[in-house]
Structure 1
Amino acid sequence: MVKLKLSEIFFSLQGEGPLVGMPSLFFRLYGCNLNCSWCDTPYSREPYPFFEKEIEELVQQWKENFPQIPYVVITGGEPLLQEGAIPFLEALIANGAKPLLETNGSLPIAGLPEGVIVVMDLKPPSSNMVEFNRYENLDFLREKDAVKIVIQDRRDFEWAINLVEQADLLKKTQVFFSPAHPFLSPKELASLILETKLPLRLQVQLHKMLGLK
């Protein structure tokens, strides 16, 4: 039986990305291969505790407790570090779920099941992780997927705009810009986005605004 290491399981509104506002069941997988300067989930990696569950248990937990909720979010940490992540996604799809995978973009996404919605980070200079971006992943993103870029300052913003234009991202997938709290306010980022006259999306982490998990 394949087991996964998890940091937490919770039910909440999806606060970001293509499914924003949608009630979803979240499985936060444990472990990460990056160390972003403004990480907001440091507890999902060492030295913090984790627990293990078999894939079949997790699928049953969703089916029995949330039969009317199709959206299951697999987040981290970095879910794709675990060998069981893709079998878990496949099992969810086989049982009628609509899984969304949140990945930091440093690992290959080419082999993901067709039914998965992918939200992939691109790490800007302020993260101190920019060298881990796997740009070839952009070729596998579809219209239903998304790229998320956290913006701390104007340097990050200019880097992100250059990347969006060079990779022609707006013709491939959805693009979300998020302000890095407390360095840049949503209003400041909104002003920067409007200056570009590009169809970029401002993302403000709805769940945190509402005091939800």
Structure 2
Amino acid sequence: MSSLRITEIFHSLQGESNTVGLPTVFIRLTGCPLRCVYCDTAYAFTGGTKTEIDAIIDQVDQYATRYVTVTGGEPLAQPSCLELMTRLLDKGYVVSLETSGALDVSAVDPRVSKVMDLKTPSSGELSRNRYQNIDYLTPRDQVKFVIGSDEDYEWSKAILAEHDLPNRCEILFSPTMGQQNPTELAEKILRDRLPVRFQIQLHKILWDDARGK
């Protein structure tokens, strides 16, 4: 029986991506090979509870919502994550995957909406970007840039152009909380007429850094 190491399963409003504000069940998997400077889920690096996929789906069913986000940590660090997402899709859930972009996404069920980071210079993990993943992006997917500095912004603009990302999928620009002034980032996006979605993490506005929110 397939199982995964789970840090938490909780019901909240989606705080990011193109389903922001929608009631969503979050499945947070344990473990991540990256150590981004701005990480706000370091508690998911270790520990967790080994849980069979059947039991995970039973918990999700209790919340009676269409939307499920598989997050971490880095979900793809556990291979059985692929089976979990496919089984959720087969039950009719709308499934999104939050992934660092450092691991191969080619085997992810094409029905999943991938929300994939490209790590900016200030993340401390720029070298971990797996640019081959861009070839597997579709219009249902999203690429997220977490912007913490002018260097991050200019780097992100260059990557957009180099890989023609706006014509592949939706692009998200998000300010690093406490580091990048959100208004300044919004004004840069407008000034440069970038075809991106500006987003602020809704859950942090509503619940600060409360775990399980």
Aligned with 1:66 (options 60, 63, 67): 63
Counterpart code for 1:2: S
Structure 2 unmatched ranges of 5 or more:
none
Which of 120, 126, 129 is equivalent to 2:125? Answer: 129
Shift of 1:86: 0.2
Amino acid in the other structure paired with 1:60: D
Report the number of matched residues.
Answer: 209
Is 1:176 aligned with 2:179?
no
Contact persistence 1:27–1:75 (CA under 8 A): yes
Shift of residue 66, structure 1, vs aligned partner: 2.2
Rounded to whole Å, the distance in 1 between the matches of 2:18 and 2:104 is: 21
TM-superposed deviation, 1:143: 1.2
Does 2:195 match 1:160? no
CA distance in 1, matches of 2:156, 2:57: 37
Runs of 4+ in structure 1 over 3 Å off: none
Which of 82, 88, 108 is the matching residue for 2:78?
82
**C-alpha separation in 2, matches of 1:178 and 1:28:** 21
Q: Is the 8 A contact 1:72 1:100 kept in 2?
A: yes
Structure 1: how far apart are the matches of 2:117 and 2:169? Answer: 13
1:82-161 correspondence runs (5 A): 82-161=78-157
Match of 1:186 among 175, 182, 185: 182
Separation in 2, partners of 1:119, 1:11? 19
Q: Distance in 1 between matches of 2:133 and 2:126?
A: 14
CA deviation map 1:28-51 (0-9, x unaligned): 0000010001111111103xx311
User: What is the TM-score of this pair, normalised by structure 1?
Assistant: 0.95
Task: Note the 1:30-69 alignment, pairs <5 A.
Answer: 30-46=30-46, 49-63=47-61, 65-67=62-64, 69=65
Q: 3-state SS of the aligned residue for 2:139?
A: coil
Secondary structure, counterpart of 1:182 in structure 2: coil
One-letter code aligned to 1:108: D
Residue 75 of structure 1 and its aligned partner are, at CA, apart by: 0.2
Superposition TM-score, scaled by structure 2 size: 0.95
Question: Percentage identity across aligned positions?
Answer: 42
